[in-house]
Amino acid sequence: MPASPDRTARRFRLGIAADIRKLEWDGVFTAHRSIIAQAFAAQAAGEGLVLIAEADGYPVGQLWVRFAGSGPPRLWALRVLPSHQGMGLGSRLLEFGEAELAKRGFAACEIGAEKSNLTAQQFYQKRGYSIAYEQVETYSYAMPSGEQSEGVADQWILRKALRPSTAVIAGADRGRAAHGLADARRANAQAGLQSPACHNSPTAERVYSGRRNARLSGQARDRAGRTESRS
């Protein structure tokens, strides 16, 4: 982990197998080891992306994407090391993710925020996201000890239309993007990672499984409007 923040030596890229253990951030997310592995397996299978903000050769920010069938792709697990927060890195990483999706032809994307987390809701709303519907999901994942962790996430799903202009990139950039994805797939294949068994869309730093209850009612729209009016 970098000893001190470097405000200049940063780059944004796709994750590779060498990042997997580093993304545990020296024990902070060790309990999520299986979730991290599943995110990389999804990328290797062409079912998602792992996006990295790097400083001094270390992944100081991460954002994951899950392609959700015919619906908009779902962004999740947006987080930045505390030592590198307050520099706009989270916003830039989010923009990088949106640009990667626009390059791939997606017209919109979604991200989840716990209903109790007004800070996250306002962060996304200030960056062009609007509450689309509410979603309640059960989730479970295996911890390194072998125990299962389970819970329920009650969240707003926010959506943003992606500007077509962000999809226009130079041929060289397009080639680098394709090459980077190929490298990520090869690296994950060499690591022996398989596609995850759970195909539910993961949100808010978790891989969800089990029953899903997604609904949008008149009451939900009213509550969404009140939430947006406070931002």
Mean pLDDT on 76-83? 95
pTM of the predicted model as reported, rounded to 2 decimal places = 0.70
Q: 142 is written with which tokens? A: 């295996």
**Cα–Cα distance between 193 and 190 in angstroms, integer?**
8
**Cα–Cα distance between 201 and 187 in angstroms, integer?**
24
Secondary structure element (H or E) that encloses residue 58, with its range: strand 58-66
Beta pairing partners, 208: 139
pLDDT at 79: 96
Beta pairing partners, 203: 206
Enumerate residues 6+ apart whose C-beta is below 8 A from 179. Answer: none
pLDDT at 129: 98
What are φ and ψ of residue 137, in 5° steps? -135, 145
pLDDT at 1: 61
Nearest by Cα to 42 from 181, 147, 141: 181
Does 215 or 153 have the greater pLDDT score? 153
Q: 58 is written with which tokens? A: 């270390």
Given a cut of 70, whether residue 196 has pLDDT beyond it is no
Q: 224 is written with which tokens? A: 């969404």
pLDDT tens for residues 10-31? 799 999 999 999 999 999 999 9
Given a cut of 90, whether residue 198 has pLDDT beyond it is no
pLDDT at 140: 87
Does 111 or 214 have the greater pLDDT score? 111
- Region 10-230: CATH code: 3.40.630.30
Given a cut of 90, whether residue 86 has pLDDT beyond it is yes
